[in-house]
Amino acid sequence: MIDPRRLRILRAAADHRTVTAAAAALYLTPSAVSQQLAALEQETGHTLLTRSGRGVRLTPAGEILLEHANEVLAQLERAEAELAAYADGTAGEVRIAAFATGIAEVLAPAVARLARRHPGIRPRVRDAEGDASLPMVLDGEADLAVAVEYRGAPREDDPRLARVPLYAEPFDAVLHAGHPLAQAPEVALASLADSDWIGQSAGNPCQDMVLLACELAGFAPRLVHVSDDFRAVAALAGAGAGVALVPRSALRGIGLKDVVVRPVAGPAAFRRVFAAVRRGGEGHPLIRPVLDALAESAAGLSQPDTV
């Protein structure tokens, strides 16, 4: 009989592609992960992983087992949810990973709603970039993520995750007040092709969106300055160091000295924000109220999506 605990380890190895990374995500030693995977291979009678350089990859048999593992683990999440509901599980901790603007826009208001309606639910919030929170949910470090679409993100039909769309917002152009286009009602990205740019670090979902938007406008931005802090981005733009594209909500509450913010003409980049939990857990009596509170907080935030 296959031990479902070993299926979690197989999925972690498939997600992280090295035994060491899978072990770190599961808070196990690499030797323990290797032993469990070897035991799983003995249980199934098949070689499930093969070495690929310094990493590992699934064999065809491993791919078949992983597909079933996703279904089994989702069903176990559902079982836990139903048992918790049977026990009237209205009190407990929910670990939530979210990026900073998502915390300010939807998560903090949701926490306030939960305090009024479900005082037994204790949210525990952790700041995590949009591309970091989903792996935290898959690895069991978080119960729920507020995340953004990004290149390489799990697809909407990913069998490991269940999603709830929250809102979409455009990126606006951030310019020095003395920029030649500062008085324009809106800015075409192509008109900024020769400018120095302030961008985010490699791998940041916002950087992916900016690069894609500029590519669609026919150029690659000349990234001179890099910061993942939008307050710093606005300060650099105000100093005349360059131009930037910033999600609209990220500028709320920031003192914009010597800076103007203009909408982008034509098709604009959009940041799409959603909540995600491990598939099967969306009905858990602790998680369902959090998802509902997030959806209420997000109501009315979305703007027309032009791309």
Task: Kindly state whether residues 61 and 181 are assigned to the same domain.
Answer: no
Max CA separation in the chain (angstroms): 70
Tell me, what's the pLDDT at 260?
A: 93
pLDDT at 181: 93
Please compute the mean of the pLDDT values over residues 13-41 and round it to a whole number.
90
Choose one of 45, 64, 83: the last residue of a domain.
Answer: 83
- pLDDT over threshold 50, residue 182: yes
Contacts of 143 (CB under 8 A, 6+ apart): 94, 95, 96, 137, 277, 278, 281, 286, 287
In a domain, 217, yes or no: yes
Whether residues 114 and 35 share a domain: the answer is no
Instruction: Give the burial string for 180-193 (b: 16+ CB within 10 Å, else e).
Output: ebbebeebebeebe
Percent pLDDT > 90 in the chain is: 55
Does the pLDDT at position 175 exceed 50?
Answer: yes
Which of the four pLDDT bands, split at 50, 70 and 90, describes residue 307? very low
Owner of token pair 């035994």: 19
Percent of the residues in the chain that have a pLDDT greater than 70, as a whole number: 96
45 vs 96, higher pLDDT: 96
The CA distance from 166 to 7, in Å, is 31
pLDDT digits (tens, 9 = 90+) for 62-91: 899 998 988 888 888 888 877 776 666 577
Given a cut of 80, is residue 242 above it in pLDDT? yes
Tell me, yes or no, whether 217 and 179 share the same domain: yes
Q: Give the pLDDT of residue 154.
A: 83
Q: Does any domain span residue 306? A: no
Task: Determine the structural domain holding residue 93 and report its residue range.
Answer: 89-165+271-298
| Domain containing residue 139: CATH number | 3.40.190.10
Report the alpha-carbon distance of residue 205 to residue 148 in Å, rounded: 7
Indicate the number of domains in the chain: 3
pLDDT tens per residue, range 127-162: 998 778 999 999 999 999 999 987 778 888 899 999
Cα angle vertex 222, ends 220, 227, to 5°? 115
Q: Is pLDDT above 90 for 251?
A: no
pLDDT value of residue 88: 62
In a domain, 305, yes or no: no
CATH of the domain at 78: 1.10.10.10
Q: Answer whether residue 5 shows pLDDT above 70.
A: yes
In a domain, 28, yes or no: yes
Question: Is residue 303 scored above 90 in pLDDT?
Answer: no
Confidence of residue 301 (pLDDT cuts 50, 70, 90): confident
Q: Of 58, 83, 108, which one is at a domain's C-terminal end?
A: 83
Reported as a pLDDT band with limits 50, 70 and 90, residue 254 is: confident
| DSSP, res 115 | H
Q: Report the number of secondary-structure helices (H) and strands (E) in the chain.
A: 10, 11
